[in-house]
Amino acid sequence: MQRIDTQLLVLGGGPGGYVAAIRAGQLGIDTTLVEATALGGTCLNVGCIPSKALIHVAEQFHLLHSAAELGIRAGDARLDITQSVQWKNALVDRLTTGVAALLKKHKVKVLHGHGEILDGKTVQVGEQRVHCEHLLLATGSQAQALPALPLGGAVIGSSQALSPSAIPGHLCVVGAGYIGLELGIAYRKLGAQVTLVEAQGQVLPSYDAPLVQPVVQRLEALGVALRLNTRVAGFEQGQLLFEQGPPLACDQVLVAAGRVPCTAGYGLERLDLRMAGRAVAIDEHCRTSMRNVWAIGDLTGEPMLAHRAVAQGEAVAEQVAGHARRFEPRCIPAVCYTDPEIVVAGLSPDEAGPGHRQASFPFAANGRALTLQAGSGFVRVVAREDNHLIVGWQAVGAGVSELASTFAQSLEMGARLEDVAGTVHAHPDPGRGGAGGGVAGAGQGHSCLTRLGCVNGALNRAIEKGDCQQHRHRFHRHRGGEVQ
């Protein structure tokens, strides 16, 4: 048995764990990272990156077939999905290799193997016993299993769906949440017939109906079939069975019914931590109920998003280094990479409640959006009535994911409607950043002003005449030292 002593032991090398370890290394903390499968976790290997790669392949392929309306005939475009998967895998390899290099650069010791927690200061990894001062739990999440649909054969999970060897004739997707919609739309664009089966009354049930409506219209246009308020009972002989109604013949079933924190199989129960439902409970410092045992990322519950895990990981590393830090963001923006995309940050109108105003601006009112075939969707802003403090943003439309940083930044900075509306943006500069200006992105610069125009449209609708001078330029007053 080899004994290893370390200041910080990070269990799990996903975006939460590897970022925490790198940051800790940068801060001079003696750090050891334990990873059972592949560095990069769900995000780099079977989540965010591969799914966005597949969505890109699907989008490019679909464009070749859908440009006829514009008078463009691309001929007989064919898909070599094996090559597409190889391209995606090469991209993943490049990123995970980069993570390994960064860990090495910052002198993080990486142990490849399954970590078994013995107590709050000791983890066993094969023949190595690691003793630590601080234990950071970053073991992530796993797909929610459906007893009626065990994985195997034609029934697959998202990881398999990201590495197809062939595109099925008819794919049924069980669960029309983030994964179901992103991958369902991608498979449709890759040529499959797709049916989305959802237990609740609308797709993406966590969003309000107007926000989801443009996506539903697009699903109809693409020919994606919907079965709402439907629960599955099993899959037998090529037929998907439902609790009610006739079965549906299909070639493959993708189960995408949510994710749950990984809490079993590695001795977590030995710590007897306080739980929040199925997640490990943490406070605003990411501390668990046991001293010097920290937890971050999907293990700590919703929202299960990579950028939350990353931000928490940085916060923990800095606290272990003795910095005064908390993890208390005003918002964690979320983007759904559907067609069209959805972005939300902060409170929806319903969540904000009385004392707030909302205004939205449709892309259809923007001529440039129409010339880009991007006339579907809108931008919506929610702000306090009394001082115009912005409390939430929502948008649905082509390329609106690029607004996520702008929205989050305005919320974090406590911007008012007039602050964002009064920001002057350079033109044309696809790389500009900052509140209102971070809307541009690589390769999409031609439409960034369109999205920005609709942001300002929503802001102007929210600002009533005469309000402007009263609330304007709060940032300027900040800079002059007159903080209100």
**Contact window for ligand NAD (CB under 6 A) among 93-101, 174-182, 374-382, 464-472:** 174-182
* 282 or 462: CB nearest ligand FAD: 282
Q: Tally helices (H) and strands (E) across the chain.
A: 15, 24
Exposure pattern of 282-297 as b/e (b: 16+ CB <10 Å)? beebbbbebeebbbbb
Q: CB 469 → ligand FAD: shortest distance, Å?
A: 40
7 in Cβ contact with 113 (< 8 Å): no
Q: Which of 256, 359, 421, 462 binds ligand NAD (CB under 6 A)?
A: 256
How many angstroms separate the CA atoms of 122 and 134, rounded?
Answer: 10
Q: What are phi and psi of 89, to 5 degrees?
A: -65, -40
* 32 or 158: CB nearest ligand FAD: 158
Which residue type is seen at 28?
A: G
If DSSP codes are grouped into helix, strand and coil, which group holds residue 34?
strand
DSSP string, 217-241: HHHHHHT-EEE-S--EEEEETTEEE
How many angstroms separate the CA atoms of 415 and 402, rounded?
Answer: 19
Q: Is 232 in the site for ligand NAD (CB under 6 A)?
A: yes
3-state secondary structure 265-291: CCCHHHHCCCEECCEECCCCCCECCCC
* 145 or 249: CB nearest ligand FAD: 145
Q: What are phi and psi of 393, to 5 degrees?
A: -135, 145
Q: Is 130 in the site for ligand NAD (CB under 6 A)?
A: no
* 306 or 462: CB nearest ligand FAD: 306
Please choose which of ligand FAD, ligand NAD, none residue 174 contacts, taking the beta carbon within 5 to 8 angstroms, the exact cut-off set by kind: ligand NAD
Q: Which two tokens stand for residue 36?
A: 């059972």
How many angstroms separate the CA atoms of 260 and 283, rounded?
Answer: 20
Measure CA 427 to chain center.
30
Q: Which of 61, 207, 235, 266 binds ligand FAD (CB under 6 A)?
A: 266
Measured between alpha carbons, how far is residue 26 from residues 33, 131, 209, 271, 321 in Å?
14, 21, 45, 29, 10
Taking Cα atoms as reference points, which of 151, 196, 200, 188 lies closest to residue 172? 196
> Look-up: residue for tokens 């960034």?
448
**Contact window for ligand FAD (CB under 6 A) among 138-146, 218-226, 286-294, 473-481:** 138-146
DSSP H or E segment with residue 104: helix 81-105
- Cβ count near 355 (within 10 Å): 9
* 171 or 305: CB nearest ligand NAD: 305
Q: Is 335 in the site for ligand NAD (CB under 6 A)?
A: yes
> Look-up: residue for tokens 């001529």?
367
Measured between alpha carbons, how far is residue 309 from residues 19, 35, 296, 297, 323 in Å?
9, 16, 6, 4, 19
Q: Is 32 in the site for ligand FAD (CB under 6 A)?
A: no
Please choose which of ligand FAD, ligand NAD, none residue 6 contacts, taking the beta carbon within 5 to 8 angstroms, the exact cut-off set by kind: none
How many angstroms separate the CA atoms of 105 and 177, rounded?
Answer: 38
Q: Is 340 in the site for ligand FAD (CB under 6 A)?
A: no
Which residue type is seen at 86?
A: Q
The single residue of 56, 62, 427, 446 carrying the catalytic annotation is 427
Q: Which two tokens stand for residue 101?
A: 């290099």
Nearest-CB residue to ligand NAD? 177
Per CB under 6 A, contacts with ligand FAD among 105-124 are 114-115
Q: Is 89 in the site for ligand FAD (CB under 6 A)?
A: no
* 25 or 184: CB nearest ligand NAD: 184
Q: Is 339 in the site for ligand NAD (CB under 6 A)?
A: no
Is 427 a known active-site residue? yes
Q: CB 209 → ligand NAD: shortest distance, Å?
A: 14
Q: Which of 176, 196, 296, 435 binds ligand NAD (CB under 6 A)?
A: 176
Q: Is 138 in the site for ligand FAD (CB under 6 A)?
A: yes
Q: Is 200 in the site for ligand NAD (CB under 6 A)?
A: yes
Q: Is 41 in the site for ligand FAD (CB under 6 A)?
A: yes
Binding mask 155-174 for ligand FAD (x = CB under 6 A): ---x----------------
Binding mask 283-302 for ligand FAD (x = CB under 6 A): --------------xxx---
Q: What are phi and psi of 171, to 5 degrees?
A: -105, 125
Please choose which of ligand NAD, ligand FAD, none residue 362 contacts, taking the beta carbon within 5 to 8 angstroms, the exact cut-off set by kind: none
Q: Which of 8, 23, 47, 420 binds ligand FAD (CB under 6 A)?
A: 47
Site residues, ligand NAD (CB under 6 A): 146, 174-180, 182, 197-200, 205, 231-232, 256-259, 303-305, 334-337
The residues annotated with a catalytic role in the active site are: 427
**Contacts with ligand FAD, residue ranges (CB under 6 A):** 11-17, 34-37, 41-43, 47-48, 51, 114-115, 138-141, 158, 179, 262, 266, 297-299, 304-307, 309
